[in-house]
A = this chain, B = another copy of it.
Amino acid sequence: MYICPMYSSELIKGTLKTIVLNLLKDNEKMYGYEITQKVKDLTDSKIQITEGALYPTLHALEKQGDVTVEKVYIGKRVRKYYILTDQGTITVADRVNELSDFMKTMRFLLDLDSNVQNV
């Protein structure tokens, strides 16, 4: 199965934690595979999170206390649900604000708002 990310990987780099945390903010609990599918669906496959990037990121978020894990067995198959902690709620707000601010700065820097085509 070939994975075709629409955006060059450099752009997505640095936004993964923000994406994951923001999804958990809106969904209470999600498991890894579900996150990859959700992002794919919401972005019309323009952003496809690779598992090699996602799982280490989820483990890092757990380690730094932004999420907790809840193991659930679906038959014999394990699912690890990730839930945002109180600290994680603060982190996601910070991250989203920073990204939002950064994108605003980039739009100004690249003079994108004066270009009608970019709506």
Contact = CB atoms under 8 A, between A and B. Distances in A.
Count class of interface residues, chain A: 35 or more
Given A96-B112, A100-B110, A110-B22, A47 B105 contact: yes
Copies of the protein in its oligomer: 2
A109 B8 contact: no
B106 A103 contact: yes
A18 B42 CA distance: 26
A99 B107 CA distance: 9
Chain A interface helix/strand/loop/mixed: helix
B22 A15 contact: no
A55 interface: no
A51 interface: no
Interface of A: 7-15, 18-19, 22, 26, 39, 42-43, 46-47, 96, 98-112, 118
